[in-house]
Structure 1
Amino acid sequence: MPVFKKYDLNKQSIEVPGTRTPGATGHYRHVGFVDGLVENIRADPTVKTLYDLFQSSLAKFQDKDMLGSRNYDPVTKTWSGYIWQSYRQVDQRVNAFGSGVMHINEAILGNTQLNRWSLGIWSLNRPEWFISEMICNYYNLVSVPLYETLGPDAVEYVMNHAEIKVAVVSGNHIASLLEMSDKLPNLRAIISMDSLAEGVLAPGVSSASSILRAWSNDRGIKIYDFQQVEALGREYPRRHIPPQPEEVASLCYTSGTTGQPKGAMLTHRNFIAAVGANREGMVTDHTDTVISYLPLAHIMGRVVDTNSAYSGCRIGYFRGDLLLLMEDIVELKPTFFPTVPRLLNRIYAKVVASTVDAPGLVGKLARRGVATKLANLEAGKGVTHPLWDRLLFNKVKMALGGNVQAILTGSAPIAKEVLNFLRVAFGCIILEGYGATEGMATATITMADEHQPGIVGCPRSGVELKLVDVPEMNYFATDKPFPRGEIMIRGATVFKGYYKDEKNTLDTIDSEGWLKSGDIGFIDNRGCLTIIDRKKNIFKLAQGEYIAPEKIENVLLSRCNLVMQIYVHGDSLESTLVCVAIPDPETFLPFANAIAGTNVTMTDPVGLGKLLKDPKVKTAYLKELEKAGQAGGLRGFEVVKRVHLSMDMFSVENNMMTPTSKVRRPQVKEYFLDAIKSMYDDIHFTTIVAKL
């Protein structure tokens, strides 16, 4: 099980004396690392690259289970349990696949550049993803993950920007690459993670793989499957080409809400520093099992899996379907569950419904048990209870397989009530982290025995941070009771810069190596950071108040279970905010039916459309948003005054969302422009009538 290092909760970070400058706080460091930041894995200082990391794990854990996945039987239409490959078996496959890729690059494609070229990886999490990334570390290549949900324009841009010659992809993406291949002049070979073995569907009918091979031939692109390349590698083995610490290990493209994606250059040193910093707070080992479902194209998922590989953990991959994720978790029985608030909010809603909101004796007992455990948590007595766990909560824990000892959440805020309820319901430690791709998702994290929700913890052992004045938003390092300002981060985890993009690099990292986060926070008297605002995408209302819509959206998303997606809108010509909300069908339908006196289901689009437009439903929904805003501490001018309800979800396909689930604001505004205008017309009309 994960082991946590203990520190004083009342003094988690310290402002280093003599480091204050005009317009900024001093440098805050973790209380245990004031005299020096961690830049490597202190227990294993010879590990300097991702190549070293895996060789170290191989020596210690070679016959232990490493990568697990579930197989589908098309005959019985059932899934197997987890089938495991050992560290030794994974190493053998990395050697074979890597040698095969190097042979294809040199002997078949005739490329004279033997290393430092970019390998594209495009698929959901699976063993082949890990193996594809690891060959980059064995043969000094640069991995370029592509988000599973990237649209064609972004795929084309990244493939060309990173000059990808060879792409390893799941079978469902082969056709997409071939379709756009005339726009991908660098692409020379596609390797399918899924088998392309020939199979006759019917007399005279070609198999799908035959069609793909003929298509790729026509486009002048070589196509292989994983097994073919491994066989080639066994026939033509290659020596390893170990990388150097300062060389780029991966180009991680950040999907911004505007403009083209930016390729963050993450070095081997960055990855090792992230693993080292993580291990100073929580240590996992070969007895631990981790569920891998967070996209490996996103840095949080990569850091978790890299740290797990170093620790000798078992890494179990989900089947690729988020609707089946909970089934995978029950089957895997992980001890460590890295996740995001959106999933925790859904788990919270279901657990609440079956416990504290349950009718009769069950609900009564659950409410008493939760109250007792929450009081103990607040008093610093931990998250377990001998009586209530035995009576009630041990059954609740089975929803996560029964073995989870620690949950890590990040990427977005999580409501205080959700966080503490889940802590006591599952009787486990929940860590909340904060970071960015450009800093290896490793900036701050809460301590294991933290019981105060709403904070994102103190600086990691390898990171120092400071707050810088943002005068236009009235945030200053001299504010009382606590300093406020833009969060800036420095340490060995901070990236090298953006690939082929000096301007954005200079705009993001200053001359002293400080990474500008764009987030606003304050640091309390315990040395803990709280995120309170967002510097980017701010605008002024007509009365001069600054608005950070993303902050408001996060508050409403985390505190109102009726919301699946939301877009908050305002501009300098209006004095109020309006919003477009995509309701969560699971919670919205019972809510709306009760108000409208109907019995509409998701299979009744006409009835659903009427509910979404029903004035009584919209008024009640708006009241729920107001309650959530008040609970989240929104100020009066930050409360939305009208809502437009729609089931037109923001997605990558309709260009209203990035692959990392960030709202593309200009596109959403354009799509819902008529609804936004109608909401403001209604506000203006109501104002005029009120004056008559």
Structure 2
Amino acid sequence: MEVSAHLTYIIGHLHLNKGRFGRSEHARIIEANDDSVTVRSVSTPCDLHLRLVRDGVTSMESMLRAAAARWQSRRCLGTRTVLSEEDEPQPNGRVFKKYRMGDYVWRTYTDVEQEARQFGAGLRSLGAEPRQNVVMFAETRAEWMLAAHGCFTQSIPVVTIYATLGDEAIAHGINETEVSTVITTHELLPKFKKILARTPRVDTIIFMEDQLKTTPRDGFKEGIRIVAYKEVLDMGKQCKIESVPPAPGDTAIVMYTSGSTGVPKGVVLSHRNMVATLKAFADAMPIREADVLMGFLPLAHVFELLAESLCLIGGVPIGYSTPLTMLDSSSKIMKGTMGDATILKPTCITTVPLIMDRISKGITDKVSRSGPFASAFFKWAYAYKQGWMRRGYDTPILNLVVFKKVRALLGGRVRLMISGGAPLAPDTHAQVRLCLCCDVVAGYGLTETTSCATVMDPLDRSTGRVGAPTTGTDIKLVNWVEGNYRVTNTPYRQGEVVIGGDSVAEGYYKNPDKTREEFIDIEGRRWFRSGDIAELHHDGCIKIIGESRISEGFRNHPEIYYDNTHNAI
């Protein structure tokens, strides 16, 4: 029996992963009384954070300039080529339209900076002015990022609106921000044939082209200019308009959040806010020069926008995907054509719990269909690995023999998954981390804090928590007497989460009453009342334990993150 156990250990293990549990202290209390407690990170700035300071990065415009100067001809933004759309007969006799796809085509850092500046100049030649809002209503793709940075080069604030919102909410965002120019895509352009009747100020619509289809420009309200993205680039190449770099306090983004009730609110995010989150994310998320990110979440969500921006400054290529084409089994992938993940082989993926739950369900379904012996063996391997991971060990042979096929779903190289947007279920967290053999890092933040507040240490093996405050951010728990959540409670201090730091937004667009209600400045530091309830653990990490505003928004509006008709997993 003893020999058998010893052999089992050797089969499962090749080495001890030292330090798998990370640090014993992630944040410490800097102020406490009977009404509140404030904690601050014990981390020190990493090399990338220090380089942002050294390079004088104070805006998103200067961030891209610094990134292009450093990385130059390195791959930056990648788009998968769609070769054709063809009919594919199904076993049940139905016929579906599927894509035959080619390789990724890459823009270098030099290409990206040049194209962004050309787009910004083209916008100006169409009549857009510095500090005059422009709406971005588009799905995630390389041109989204390029157009946004084009706006930043001219100090033009970008108003982001989720592509899945209804016509009324879209019209509200356009009218409240008084825009005359909307940037959209081939697929979404037809929506404006109806919306334009409600948006009298709009006179110019720029659309990002489809790879295969020609975009009809007829049938729109008289007097509306319909301009292709590439035409704007051509205008920018020909005109002599110089860049207008923004100041740190200038508005970079007005980001509309759905919230759980009422009309969407526009959160005003300055360049200072965005650079503060960039520095915090650089310290919290260990990216490497050899990494590749697969981008598919909505860039209209601040979490995805800042995660991708971290990759830009860190020299990490971003290959774009969609739930329709991500996997070999995705709904638009033609039989015999590989999905985006198989071609790209990403090492990092940003995700949200809804998609993590789908991945988890996909793993469970695959195991249940594998037959009784294979299913039993997988369950044994899962329990065995889970037990040893709790002790700080890994099981590299089991990873290779048992979990390799699961890893192959996402290209086989994923080492880091970053989950935000809503609480991540502990069971899902554990299963995905174990079966994909990667670190799964959960974080907490809101649009009002430029997605920044807390992030887990990648070496933290716990689940159900959201980590410690990021560098530059203070987390304050304040008594909520009505719910009996007090900072004097035991074994854990509890209270409402109040977030302070440079990442806290300027406020709500044209809503001073709501801004005064939820934002406050104390001794030069800006704070935001989240409305969420948390408990503080002894290592400085927090756990959200109350009904949170962000989770309510996620539950009531899951389409913001994922269209259920796409069936990605």
Bin for the TM-score computed over the shorter chain? 0.7 to 0.9
Partner residue, 2:41: 30
Which one of 407, 417, 425 corresponds to residue 415 of structure 1?
425
Correspondence 1:297 to 2:300: yes
Task: Report the Cα offset of residue 481 of structure 1.
Answer: 0.9
Task: Report the Cα offset of residue 153 of structure 1.
Answer: 0.7
Structure 2 CA distance for partners of 1:375 and 1:157, relative to 1, 3 Å: same
Which one of 173, 193, 197 corresponds to residue 182 of structure 1?
197
CA distance in 1, matches of 2:365, 2:446: 34
| Structure 1 unaligned regions, length at least 5 | 107-113, 200-207, 538-549, 555-564, 566-655, 663-692
Alignment of 1:403-552 (within 5 A): 403-512=413-522, 513-534=526-547
CA distance in 2, matches of 1:280, 1:227: 37
Farther-moved stretch of structure 1 (225-234 vs 314-323): 314-323
Alignment of 1:113-132 (within 5 A): 114-132=129-147
Task: Report the Cα offset of residue 56 of structure 1.
Answer: 0.8
Partner residue, 1:96: 118
Which one of 324, 331, 348 corresponds to residue 336 of structure 1?
348
Task: Report the Cα offset of residue 417 of structure 1.
Answer: 2.0
CA distance in 1, matches of 2:541, 2:119: 46
Which one of 180, 186, 201 corresponds to residue 165 of structure 1?
180
Partner residue, 1:683: none
Structure 2 CA distance for partners of 1:449 and 1:357, relative to 1, 3 Å: farther
Alignment of 1:285-684 (within 5 A): 285-319=288-322, 321=324, 327-355=339-367, 358-381=370-393, 384-512=394-522, 513-534=526-547, 657=557, 660=560
CA distance in 2, matches of 1:180, 1:150: 12
Partner residue, 1:43: 51
Farther-moved stretch of structure 1 (248-257 vs 187-196): 187-196
**Cα pair 1:196 1:225 within 8 Å, conserved:** no
Task: Report the Cα offset of residue 75 of structure 1.
Answer: 6.4
Which one of 223, 227, 234 corresponds to residue 224 of structure 1?
227
Higher RCO (C-alpha under 8 Å, 6+ residues apart): 2
Structure 2 CA distance for partners of 1:71 and 1:463, relative to 1, 3 Å: same
Structure 2 CA distance for partners of 1:7 and 1:439, relative to 1, 3 Å: farther
Task: Report the Cα offset of residue 117 of structure 1.
Answer: 0.7
Residue identity opposite 1:660 in structure 2: I
CA distance in 2, matches of 1:301, 1:309: 12
Task: Report the Cα offset of residue 357 of structure 1.
Answer: 7.5
**Cα pair 2:448 2:504 within 8 Å, conserved:** yes
| Structure 2 unaligned regions, length at least 5 | 1-18, 87-98, 331-338, 563-569
**Cα pair 1:197 1:209 within 8 Å, conserved:** no
Partner residue, 2:69: 59
**Cα pair 2:22 2:460 within 8 Å, conserved:** no
Alignment of 1:127-166 (within 5 A): 127-166=142-181
**Cα pair 1:265 1:496 within 8 Å, conserved:** yes
**Cα pair 2:179 2:201 within 8 Å, conserved:** yes
Q: What is the TM-score with the length of structure 1 in the denominator?
A: 0.71
Aligned length: 518
Q: Which string of whole-angstrom CA distances, capped at 9 and with x for unpartnered residues, describes residues 499-548 of structure 1?
A: 111111111113422211111110111211011112669xxxxxxxxxxx
Residue identity opposite 2:310 in structure 1: N
Q: SS where residue 216 of structure 2 aligns?
A: helix
Quick check: which has more Rg, 1 or 2?
1
Residue identity opposite 1:251 in structure 2: V
Structure 2 CA distance for partners of 1:164 and 1:301, relative to 1, 3 Å: same
Q: Which string of whole-angstrom CA distances, capped at 9 and with x for unpartnered residues, describes residues 615-674 of structure 1?
A: xxxxxxxxxxxxxxxxxxxxxxxxxxxxxxxxxxxxxxxxx7476379xxxxxxxxxxxx
Partner residue, 1:211: 218
Partner residue, 1:593: none
Q: SS where residue 510 of structure 1 aligns?
A: strand
Residue identity opposite 1:315 in structure 2: I
Q: Which string of whole-angstrom CA distances, capped at 9 and with x for unpartnered residues, describes residues 376-432 of structure 1?
A: 221122xx3132112211222111101111011121222222211221211111101
Q: Which string of whole-angstrom CA distances, capped at 9 and with x for unpartnered residues, describes residues 31-82 of structure 1?
A: 235xxx99x9322211111111101110111211111112323366512221
Q: SS where residue 414 of structure 2 aligns?
A: coil
Residue identity opposite 1:244 in structure 2: A
Partner residue, 1:612: none
Which one of 1, 24, 47 corresponds to residue 10 of structure 1?
24
Structure 2 CA distance for partners of 1:264 and 1:93, relative to 1, 3 Å: same
Task: Report the Cα offset of residue 274 of structure 1.
Answer: 0.7
Structure 2 CA distance for partners of 1:7 and 1:508, relative to 1, 3 Å: farther
Task: Report the Cα offset of residue 8 of structure 1.
Answer: 5.1
Structure 2 CA distance for partners of 1:85 and 1:527, relative to 1, 3 Å: same
Task: Report the Cα offset of residue 358 of structure 1.
Answer: 4.1
Structure 2 CA distance for partners of 1:197 and 1:189, relative to 1, 3 Å: farther
Q: SS where residue 373 of structure 1 aligns?
A: helix
Task: Report the Cα offset of residue 7 of structure 1.
Answer: 9.0
Residue identity opposite 1:123 in structure 2: A
**Cα pair 1:119 1:141 within 8 Å, conserved:** yes
Structure 2 CA distance for partners of 1:317 and 1:196, relative to 1, 3 Å: closer
Q: SS where residue 50 of structure 2 aligns?
A: coil
Residue identity opposite 1:233 in structure 2: G
CA distance in 1, matches of 2:69, 2:549: 46
